[in-house]
């Protein structure tokens, strides 16, 4: 890649994006709990308050409904607002503002109002935080017309997608994964933006298309390594934004491999995994050699004990055995859906 | 708690307030008539009886100032200066409406007039207005934001969280509660123990004012002070206007199942138009001829709006996808 490539963490990539955008555009205001002098619960705003001050880094009490509504109102009135819910879980306190106000204002005003807003929250299981701090309902937002949803899996994508999200004139849910914050990866020093709706082909392969989101991308990569040793070739696709969704890249890949597995930390029912299966069935049903496979969290609240939580979330072992069975069972058949 | 004080405006201002209130009254009565004839889609919540609040508050707003409104918001839109024909056409669902037919009564938007929306969700406008005021503060624009809401809003979390932000950040916003005593059918006295909304301002360390919401002179005095305070960096104010809706919650609700006829009649005797006429205009020598003329002009004004709406085209169905994404 470009010169000036460094290894930085997922969380620092976000801080860099914010620092560059806030320096570039004075209309940006960042609102959230603990995002000031403390630098964010996950250090996700470290150093920004020191650089941009109280005026633009609006540290708040614990008041997600109010803070989110304030961010939406500020965006309607001419600012660019970023509201940090810290944990995705706490968007629940503000759901009515996000769904009823942010998502509809542009449409209902006949395009006269714009809501340049980023709602930021980190999802997923980490260190057995328990049911109230581990939700993965990112796909809900995809059901609401007017909301875009970014789910970066790498530091490179965090930085490039965050900059795009901030410059978008509509509301964007920017959903990171808590367990990825300390992971590192290459990020160029030179500026770049990643357009929404462009999936990343993480790994090319010929036997099965694996669509994975957020933390599940790295688990899918580990599974691909293990299965390569058995002579199976996995193509891994990370959509990077689930809205807009890069249907073409997914459909092209499945047309080539004839098999689909979706790996998702969210549970199956009514979720992203089902959406991808539907897209594939609509676009390349005739190319499928086997029914699509979903490897998701079990539909139970996140349990506390490591023994329990470890059982419910997809693991590398579960992904390996699931995909192995998918490939082997369909190698000598045209289709196993019958 | 403060009491609104200040000198009474001159007779020309009083006359313009009367005309404005009359326009709002005529507009709503026409909407009622048209709605009952079955040609309006959707639902409407009429402002009849509460005209003094919108007229009195908006008297002191500038074109660039911002207003966030409620489900009962036709009067707020008109008082902020949105043309009647654009509001009426929106109620008809026409292409020429202020929201292009995408919004309707509870989603009237005209930011070009500083009108930031009616709202189908009770209390939702309170955090939004607070945010708009934050934006004004950040941009140093000098704009004041006014947030209208009813008594039905004040027991929600949005009220608490919005006012708390407004106060702690000293934002240029005025919170105007139109306390008409009923949230749909729920009496305020049954919904909460403290009968005073204005007194809640103390919880946020902001000034709270209670005024007779049917006396436009009192309303405008309180608004002048609150808007002036906001504009000069003095932070927010909570203004409680005690008022009453003469009609039901929405068109179709008789409004008499949960309110006694005596109560309704008592408030009707305190109609904001009569109050202004009897307390201020008649004593100042404004004669019956002037009132008759004002009546005629307001009727013509509404008639023009209805004609415009009736003759406006429907939105092109093929445009239904436009403006989902900015």
- Other C-beta atoms closer than 10 Å to the C-beta of A127 total 11
- Other C-beta atoms closer than 10 Å to the C-beta of A240 total 25
CB-CB under 8 Å, A72 with B165:
no
- Contact with chain B for residue A40, Cβ under 8 A: no
Please confirm, yes or no, whether A133 is among the known catalytic residues: yes
Angstrom distance (rounded) from CA A69 to CA B324 = 20
Shortest Cα distance from B245 to chain A (angstroms)? 26
Angstrom distance (rounded) from CA A252 to CA A235 = 11
Q: What is the dihedral of CA B82, B83, B87, B89, to 10 degrees?
A: -150
Q: What is the per-residue pLDDT for A332? A: 65
Produce one character per residue of B266-291: b if its CB has 16 or more CB atoms within 10 Å, e if not: ebeeebbbebbbebbbeeeebeeeeb
pLDDT confidence bin for A132, thresholds 50/70/90: very high
- The CA–CA distances, whole Å, from A332 to A101, A227, A290 equal 53, 18, 11
Bridge pairing between strands A148-150 and A241-243: antiparallel
Catalogue all structural domains in chain A, each as residue range(s) with its CATH number: 7-188 (3.40.50.970), 200-329 (3.40.50.920)
- Contact with chain B for residue A75, Cβ under 8 A: yes
- Estimate the share of chain A in helix, then strand, then coil, as percent rounded to the nearest 5: 40, 20, 35
Residues in chain B: 326
Burial class (CB in 10 A: 0-12, 13-18, 19+), A177: buried
B112 CB neighbours in chain A (<8 A) are 112
What's the pLDDT tens digit per position in A245-291? Answer: 999 999 999 999 999 999 999 999 999 999 999 999 999 999 999 99
Residues 6+ apart with CB under 8 A from B266: none
The model carries a pTM of 0.96
- Contact with chain A for residue B132, Cβ under 8 A: yes
Strand, coil or helix: A69: helix
- Contact with chain B for residue A241, Cβ under 8 A: no
Q: Is the peptide bond before B314 cis (omega within 30 degrees of 0)?
A: no
- Contact with chain A for residue B81, Cβ under 8 A: no
Q: What is the per-residue pLDDT for A114? A: 98
CB-CB under 8 Å, B164 with A63:
yes
Closest to B324 (Cβ–Cβ): which among A107, A112, A169?
A107
Host H or E run for residue B183: strand B182-183
CB-CB under 8 Å, B169 with A67:
no
Residues 187-226 of A with CB under 8 A from B: none
Residues 6+ apart with CB under 8 A from A188: A1, A2, A4, A5, A156
* pLDDT at A336 > cutoff 80: no
- The CA–CA distances, whole Å, from B219 to A268, B77, B223 equal 56, 17, 6
Segment A206-234 shows an average pLDDT of: 98
DSSP B289-304: HHHHHHHHHHHHHHHH
Instruction: Please check whether residue B80 is in contact with residue B52, taking contact to mean a CB–CB distance below 8 angstroms.
Output: no
B110 CB neighbours in chain A (<8 A) are 112
Instruction: Please check whether residue B159 is in contact with residue B123, taking contact to mean a CB–CB distance below 8 angstroms.
Output: yes
Task: Report angle CA A274, A277, A278 to the nearest 5 degrees.
Answer: 85
Angstrom distance (rounded) from CA B139 to CA A216 = 42
Compute the count of residue pairs across chains A and B with CB atoms less than 8 Å apart.
158
- Contact with chain A for residue B128, Cβ under 8 A: yes
Task: List, in sequence order, every residue forming a beta bridge with A118; answer none if it has no partner.
Answer: A82, A172
Angstrom distance (rounded) from CA A153 to CA B194 = 51
Instruction: Please check whether residue B170 is in contact with residue B251, taking contact to mean a CB–CB distance below 8 angstroms.
Output: no
A107 CB neighbours in chain B (<8 A) are 102, 323-324
Closest residue by Cα to residue A71 from A111, A27, A34, A112: A27
Shortest Cα distance from A234 to chain B (angstroms)? 35
DSSP B110: B
Angstrom distance (rounded) from CA B87 to CA B89 = 6
* pLDDT at A179 > cutoff 70: yes
- For A61, the closest chain B residue by CA position comes to B165
Domain residue extents for chain B: 2-310
* CATH of range B2-310; options 3.40.50.970, 3.90.190.10, 3.90.550.10, 3.40.50.300: 3.40.50.970
Strand, coil or helix: B181: coil
DSSP B258-301: SS-HHHHHHHHTT-HHHHHIIIIITTTT--HHHHHHHHHHHHHH
Instruction: Please check whether residue A97 is in contact with residue A72, taking contact to mean a CB–CB distance below 8 angstroms.
Output: yes
Q: Which of A55, A132, A133, A135 is catalytic?
A: A133
- Contact with chain A for residue B68, Cβ under 8 A: yes
Closest to A109 (Cβ–Cβ): which among B66, B103, B164?
B103
Angstrom distance (rounded) from CA B240 to CA B245 = 15
Q: Considering only residues A53 and B5, tell me which one the structure prediction assigns the higher pLDDT.
A: A53
Closest to B138 (Cβ–Cβ): which among A63, A79, A100?
A79
- Contact with chain A for residue B66, Cβ under 8 A: yes
Tens-digit pLDDT profile for chain B (326 aa)?
Answer: 444 446 789 999 999 999 999 999 999 999 999 999 999 999 999 999 999 999 999 999 999 999 999 999 999 999 999 999 999 999 999 999 999 999 999 999 999 999 999 999 999 999 999 999 999 999 999 999 999 999 999 999 999 999 999 999 999 999 999 999 999 999 999 999 999 999 999 999 999 999 999 999 999 999 999 999 999 999 999 999 999 999 999 999 999 999 999 999 999 999 999 999 999 999 999 999 999 999 999 999 999 999 999 999 999 999 999 999 99
What number is the ipTM of this complex?
0.96
CB-CB under 8 Å, A100 with B134:
no
* Three-state SS sequence of A83-146: EEEEEHHHHHHHHHHHHHHHCCHHHHCCCCCCCCEEEEEEECCCCCCCHHHCCCCHHHHHCCCC
- For A70, the closest chain B residue by CA position comes to B131
Closest residue by Cα to residue A57 from A69, A73, A43, A45: A45
What's the pLDDT tens digit per position in A22-46? Answer: 999 999 999 999 999 999 999 999 9
- Contact with chain B for residue A27, Cβ under 8 A: yes
Task: List, in sequence order, every residue forming a beta bridge with A33; answer none if it has no partner.
Answer: A60
CB-CB under 8 Å, B164 with A108:
no
Q: What is the per-residue pLDDT for B277? A: 97
Residues 101-120 of B with CB under 8 A from A: 101-103, 107, 109-112, 116-117, 119-120
pLDDT confidence bin for A335, thresholds 50/70/90: very low
- For A167, the closest chain B residue by CA position comes to B326
Shortest Cα distance from A148 to chain B (angstroms)? 9
Can you say whether residue B122 is alpha, beta or left, with left for phi > 0 and alpha for psi between -120 and 50 degrees?
Answer: beta
Mean pLDDT of chain A: 96
Segment A286-314 shows an average pLDDT of: 95
What's the pLDDT tens digit per position in A57-112? Answer: 999 999 999 999 999 999 999 999 999 999 999 999 999 999 999 999 999 999 99
């Amino acid at each position: 890649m470009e010169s000036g490539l460094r290894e930085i963490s997922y969380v620092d990539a976000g801080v860099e994006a914010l620092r560059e955008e806030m320096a570039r555009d004075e209309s940006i205001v960042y609102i959230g709990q603990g995002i000031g002098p403390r630098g964010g619960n996950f250090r996700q705003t470290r150093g920004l308050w020191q650089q941009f001050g109280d005026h633009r880094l609006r540290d708040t009490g614990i008041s997600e409904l109010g803070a989110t509504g304030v961010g939406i109102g500020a965006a309607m009135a001419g600012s660019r607002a970023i509201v940090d819910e810290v944990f995705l879980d706490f968007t629940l306190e503000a759901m009515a503002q996000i769904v009823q106000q942010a998502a509809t204002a542009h449409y209902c005003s006949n395009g006269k109002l714009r809501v340049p807003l980023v709602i930021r929250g980190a999802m997923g299981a980490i260190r057995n935080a328990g049911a109230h701090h581990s939700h993965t309902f990112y796909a809900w937002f995809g059901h609401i017309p007017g909301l875009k949803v970014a789910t970066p899996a790498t530091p490179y994508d965090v930085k490039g997608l965050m900059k795009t999200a901030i410059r978008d004139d509509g509301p964007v849910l920017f959903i990171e994964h808590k367990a990825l914050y300390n992971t590192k990866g290459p990020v160029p020093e030179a500026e770049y933006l990643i357009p929404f709706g462009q999936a990343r082909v993480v790994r090319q392969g010929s036997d099965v298309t694996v669509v994975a989101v957020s933390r599940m991308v790295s688990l899918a990569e580990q599974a691909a390594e293990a299965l390569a040793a058995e002579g199976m070739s996995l193509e891994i696709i990370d959509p990077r934004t689930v809205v807009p969704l890069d249907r073409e890249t997914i459909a092209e890949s499945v047309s080539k491999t004839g098999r689909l597995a979706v790996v998702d930390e969210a549970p199956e029912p009514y979720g992203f995994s089902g959406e991808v299966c539907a897209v594939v069935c609509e676009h390349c049903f005739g190319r499928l050699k086997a029914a699509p496979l979903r490897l998701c969290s079990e539909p139970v609240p996140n349990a506390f004990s490591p023994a329990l939580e470890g059982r419910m979330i997809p693991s590398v072992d579960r992904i390996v055995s699931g995909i192995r069975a998918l490939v082997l069972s369909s190698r000598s058949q045209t289709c196993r859906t019958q | 708690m403060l009491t609104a004080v200040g000198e009474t405006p001159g007779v020309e201002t009083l006359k313009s307030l009367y005309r404005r209130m009359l326009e709002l009254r005529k507009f709503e009565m026409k909407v009622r008539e048209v709605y009952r004839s079955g040609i309006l889609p959707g639902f409407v919540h009429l402002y009849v009886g509460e005209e003094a609040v919108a007229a009195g508050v908006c008297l002191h707003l500038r074109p660039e100032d911002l207003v966030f409104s409620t489900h009962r918001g036709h009067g707020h839109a008109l008082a902020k200066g949105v043309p009647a024909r654009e509001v009426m056409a929106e109620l008809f669902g026409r292409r020429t409406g202020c929201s292009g037919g995408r919004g309707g009564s509870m989603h009237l938007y005209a930011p070009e007039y500083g009108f930031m929306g009616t709202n189908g969700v009770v209390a939702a406008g309170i955090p939004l207005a607070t945010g708009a005021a934050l934006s004004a503060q950040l941009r140093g624009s000098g704009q004041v934001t006014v947030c209208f809401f009813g008594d039905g809003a004040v027991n929600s979390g949005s009220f608490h969280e919005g006012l708390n932000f407004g106060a702690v950040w000293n934002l240029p916003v005025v919170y105007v509660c139109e306390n008409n005593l009923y949230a749909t059918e729920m009496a305020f006295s049954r919904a909460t123990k403290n009968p005073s909304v204005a007194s809640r301002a103390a919880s946020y360390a902001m000034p709270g004012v209670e005024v007779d919401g049917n006396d436009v002179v009192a309303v405008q005095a309180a608004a002048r002070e609150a808007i002036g305070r906001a504009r000069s960096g003095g932070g927010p104010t909570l203004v409680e206007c005690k008022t009453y809706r003469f009609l039901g919650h929405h068109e179709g609700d008789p409004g008499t199942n949960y309110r006694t006829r005596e109560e309704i009649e008592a408030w009707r005797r305190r109609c904001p138009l009569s109050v202004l006429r009897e307390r201020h205009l008649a004593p100042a020598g404004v004669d019956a001829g002037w009132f008759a003329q004002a009546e005629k002009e307001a009727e013509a004004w509404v008639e023009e709006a209805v004609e415009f709406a009736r003759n406006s085209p429907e939105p092109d169905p093929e445009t239904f996808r436009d403006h989902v994404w900015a």
